[in-house]
Amino acid sequence: MFNLNLKRLGIAAGLSLSLVAAGCGSEDDSGSGDDTNSGGDSGEETAGVGEGVNYEITGIEAGAGVVAASEDAVETYDNLEGWEVATSSSGAMASALGEAIENEEPIIVTGWSPHWKFAQYDLKYLEDPEGVFGGEEQIKTMARQGLEEDMPNAYAILDNFQWEASAMENLMLEINEGTEPGEAAATWVEENQDKVSSWTEGTEEVDGKEIELVYVNWDTEIASTNVVAEVLRNQGFDVTITALDNGPMWNAVANGEADGMVAAWLPGTHGDLYEEHKDNLVDLGANLEGAKIGLVVPSYVEADSIEDLQPAE
């Protein structure tokens, strides 16, 4: 299983990462992208957005796919000349987003969905006419090579695992409101036996077989990983879950130091990591459809498209 050095890395990464705080809004929120519009989208008001955020996009951890895409957006959109993507931690971005909304101040953050921020804040994605952030994403399950032969029942559960964004968001919101993740997941599993039975169909219980799952410490992955871990425990597995940063998470599964993950965002967010490791792991397909990344703002921000923003002065 996990070697000592990777365990230490997992602990360090887990301590350094906070819950993801990328608020997301409806994909239907849109604007014309014409900063000469009447009303709230005038050039003067959208210029004020840039000034209000100091021509800065508030990002999360350096190396995250949504951060890389945001940096590409700054290079792609001529109207973002002079803008910067400020990397931080997920927790720091959460604090910045909450503080800005409390004070009704402008803020632009790197965001993705599904996320509990839908329920807490009124947010929207900025339209991306150039398609820098891509279309819808999938969250996929990856297993180490040889897992099917070593633990066929665990492999089958991971292969069958699939749920909907609404279920994930409800669980994330409960965790965000203070319920311990393992406890929230156990309650969800108990209350959704019809869904869970479709994941365990055809499998047999085991007697304490050890299995390790890794995940990046985002709210989405905290929710999904704890749910899968609870299902595996109910089938008799001795489950360990370890939080890692993005790169170490992929390395752990590809190197066989961990057994699997349900936290692979593709094709955009983890695309480079997938290309690097795809020959050394098993892709079990999507466990959630319709994920999305992009630039997110509170609904009161006077911009609906990236093209509404003005260059730095």
- Do 146 and 281 lie in one domain? The reply is yes
Whether residue 175 is found in the same domain as residue 110: no
Whether 117 is covered by a domain: the verdict is yes
Q: What are phi and psi of 123, to 5 degrees?
A: -125, 165
Task: Establish if 313 belongs to a structural domain.
Answer: no
Q: Residue 110 is part of a domain; what is its CATH number?
A: 3.40.190.100
The DSSP H or E segment spanning 283 is strand 281-298
Tens of pLDDT along 259-290? Answer: 999 999 999 889 999 999 999 999 999 999 99
Looking at residue 201, its amino acid is: E
Whether residues 205 and 187 fall in one domain: yes
Share of the chain above pLDDT 90, in %: 71
pLDDT in tens, 192-224: 999 999 999 999 999 999 999 999 988 899 999
Produce one character per residue of 189-222: b if its CB has 16 or more CB atoms within 10 Å, e if not.
Answer: beeeeebbeebbeebeebeebebbbbbbbbbbbb
Q: What is the CATH number of the domain that holds 164?
A: 3.10.105.10
**227 and 272 fall within a common domain:** yes
Q: How far is CA 247 from CA 14, 58, 156, 273, in A?
A: 13, 21, 26, 7
Pick from 196, 201, 262, 259: nearest CA to 226: 262
Domain count, the chain: 2
The angle subtended at Cα 243 by Cα 196 and Cα 230, nearest 5°, is: 20
Provide the greatest CA pair distance for the chain. Answer: 68
The reply to whether 62 falls in a domain is yes
Do 116 and 141 fall within a single domain? Answer: no
Q: How far is residue 277 CA from its own chain's centroid? A: 19
Close Cβ partners of 191 (under 8 Å, ≥ 6 residues apart)? none
Q: What is the mean pLDDT of residues 139-158?
A: 98
Query: What is the residue range of 9's domain?
Result: 4-13+136-292
pLDDT bin (cut points 50, 70, 90) of residue 8 is very low
Same domain, 151 and 112: no
